[in-house]
Structure 1
Amino acid sequence: MVKHKIIGIDLAKNSFYLFILNKDGKAESKKKLTRTKLLAYLAQQTKCTVAMEACATSHYWAREIQKLGHSVQLLPAQHVKGYLRGQKNDYNDALAIAEACLHGAIRPVPIKNIKQQDEQTFLQMRRHLSAERTRLINHVRGLLSEYGLILNKGSTVLQSALPGILEDANNNLTDKMRALVNRQYYQLVALEDELSWYDKQLKLDAKNDEVCQRLIKIPGFGPVVSKVVKSWMGDGKQFQRGRDASAALGLVPKQFSTGGRDRLLGISKRGDSYVRSQVVHGARAVVCRASEKNDPLSLWINRLVEARGFNKAVVALANKLTRVAWVIIARNEQYIAVK
């Protein structure tokens, strides 16, 4: 039995579908509301638990509904799907959300405040700019290869080579192709300038952020990794221990056990792939330099590389660093390297 009735809401752009469960967990009613009427309806309800999928606009609605005095839970959409019964429609989706909340087995997603959402937006914009730059570089290199001009990888290589290619009258580029490549060159320069601003701003934000300053002391955690991990983990209170954080990030083995036989596969790759990739890249940098050092962490890494191979050692270190990051964030501690 629950303390309050549960309202499951299937979010959309304009029309929201609600399914209400009473205190006994039984279906009470269902309702369709427009975007403008949702908060007015919830304001008239006695204190209850409102459950939604963690999707687009969900953090905004969670903050607004909390202001009305209700308890709000954001549930991962991939876990709610298992509670869906019968045909898929909006009311059944809302019912599945309400029953998933009633069951209580799904770890809810922490609700982001405005500052946290600003940080996440900043990181997403920087990520998209970086991806756009990579796409443009590969696009231009591919086009030039069709004219017999082969360039090495990298933004610096392309930017330094393009002016010479455009001025070389002896290559196979036509006037039309030169004009097109010239426009791509200016677009690449603009992307580099924009990305440079984001990088400077990120370093400044990390310098002024007390949590990031503590995270940067972890091996492999620079300004980018620290900011990304902090934005993803929040205050860390949603995890009971560090292993839960590394499991949520997909850095623990996937299990396929049956009949009493335990079988562990590769890592599960659950959670945010971008955050996981940043932590793994940081761990890879540490593993690459471990052979030159003799501190306890480096010796542990070297033994692991020798026994399990380079890539597995990188993932194992990423798992360890994620656990350390959780301790630093959730318990407000400092990283002290063992000598």
Structure 2
Amino acid sequence: MALYVGLDVSLRMTSICVVEADGSSVWEGKAESEPVPLVKVLSPWRDKIALVGIEACPLSEWLYGALVESGFQIVCIETRHAQRFLSSRPNKTDRSDARGIAEMMRLGHYRSVHVKSKASQLLRTTLIARKKFVDHMLAIEDTIRGLMKVHGLKLGAVHRSRFAARVETLLADAPDLRMAIEPLLEARNMMRKHKALMDRQLAQMARKDDVCKRLMTVSGVGPLVSLSFKATIDDPNRFKDSKAVAAHLGLTPRVYQSGEIDRSGNISKCGDKLMRHALYEAANSHMRISKKWSTLRAWGVKLAKRIGSRKACVAVARKLAIIMHRMWVEETDFRFGKPPVTQPT
């Protein structure tokens, strides 16, 4: 008889439940949240296990990959769907959750999520690290501005390339502040150098990748946006329709419909926040900075006059997600289109 396994993963220990197809329990217990102990526990039933279920969590991608390499059939289940199923149980314990996940596998009542490839995981880790790195650098700059403002030293609007020189100029009139400001300024300057190095390496990576080079034919899409899109989507064939990509990234409106009520609200903001922000920046660049005419840009500019530039950028970002996915699938470059011919008066 086929067996089904539920894994409830925590930082140190993982609760395990093995059940038969008729629902009877075979084994319940715990193992360390490491690949080797988990494989060791499941090995006695290796030939009988039909499916292993694991809830999406920070450790799930790592454990998923290890169990797949060990020959187990495993699915990673969607968190919100699992919580709704498990909330029907009167007691909330790790043991109960593991049993509930095993029951989901047995009944086929689960919604699987895509687990990214190792390459996409590494690329996404690098992009998130860069984002946090830049956030901390900007936080230090704001701290320097705030501390100097208290003493009447106003930096004003200054380009980041001249930020350090401007601070040094103001400190010349207030040497007593050097003890407080100089360590922050040195840390900021060092972080700026490392950011430039990281950006250079990411740009080289994008130029060597065929998919990224194709995506960068879109005006406003640079190395960071193209790499982020590739790391987030991972496998373009997992979307049957390109329009589903926009919904996956949270760029489609929320809908509430009940009886005679039918309302469309703001975008859902589900999915990857980093990718959604990158697409918004690309859309903003495509509409405002790029001067080359395109059908998409003309549509966005026309829409901005009617609903405002911010909402229009969101709409263009949604179209960009669809277009970039289609470009990836069809292996084609961006089509700018032809501007309308104006008749001479």
Q: What is the TM-score with the length of structure 2 in the denominator?
A: 0.87
SS at match of 2:257: coil
Distance 1:295 1:109, change over 3 A: closer
What is the 5 A alignment of 1:74-113? Answer: 74-84=76-86, 85-101=89-105, 102-104=107-109, 106-113=111-118
Q: Which whole-Å CA distance do the structure 2 matches of 1:262 and 1:209 have between them?
A: 44
Distance 1:293 1:237, change over 3 A: closer
In structure 2, stretches of 5+ residues that fail to align are: 339-345
Mapping 1:176-215, distance limit 5 Å: 177-215=177-215
1:182-201 Cα distance to aligned partner (Å, 9 max, x none): 11111011100111111000
Aligned residues: 330
Change (3 A) 1:137 1:51: same
> Cα distance 1:50–1:225, how it changes in 2: closer, same or farther (>3 A)?
same
Matches within 5 A, 1:253-332: 253-289=253-289, 294-332=293-331
Task: Flag the 1:105–1:302 CA change in 2: closer, same or farther, 3 A.
Answer: farther
State the SS of the aligned residue for 2:193: helix
Q: 156, 160, 167: which one pairs with 1:162?
A: 167
Moved more, 35-44 or 143-152: 35-44
Q: Once the 2 structures are TM-superposed, how far is the Cα of residue 331 of structure 1 from its aligned partner?
A: 4.4
By how many angstroms is 1:238 displaced? 2.6
* Cα contact 1:20–1:28 (8 A) shared by 2: yes
The letter of the residue matching 1:231 is A
Cα deviation for residue 161 of structure 1 reads 0.9
2:137 corresponds to which residue?
Answer: 133
Is the CA contact 1:74–1:111 (under 8 Å) kept in the aligned structure 2? no
Q: Which residue of structure 2 lines up, in the alignment, with residue 150 of structure 1? A: 154
Per-residue deviation, 1:61:
1.1
8 Å contact kept, 2:130–2:195: yes
How far apart are residue 120 of structure 1 and its match? 1.6
* C-alpha spacing 1:96/1:211, structure 2 compared with 1 (3 Å): farther
Q: Distance in 1 between matches of 2:269 and 2:69?
A: 35
> CA 1:226/1:318 → structure 2, altered by over 3 Å: closer, same or farther?
same
Give the gaps of 5 or more residues in structure 1: none
Among the aligned pairs, what percent are the same residue? 25
AA of the residue aligned to 1:120: R
Which region of structure 1 is more displaced relative to structure 2, 96-105 or 213-222?
A: 96-105
Equivalents in 2 of 1:97, 1:281: separation in Å?
Answer: 40
Q: Compute the RMSD of aligned alpha carbons.
A: 2.3
Of stretches 94-103 and 132-141 in structure 1, the one that deviates more from structure 2 is 94-103
Residue 23 in structure 1 maps to residue 21 in structure 2: yes
Tell me the distance in 1 between the aligned counterparts of 2:241 and 2:307. Answer: 26
Instruction: Provide the secondary structure at the position in 1 that maps to 2:5.
Output: strand
SS at 1:74 equivalent: strand
- More displaced 10-residue stretch of structure 1: 230-239 or 184-193: 230-239
Which moved further from structure 2: 299-308 or 62-71?
A: 299-308
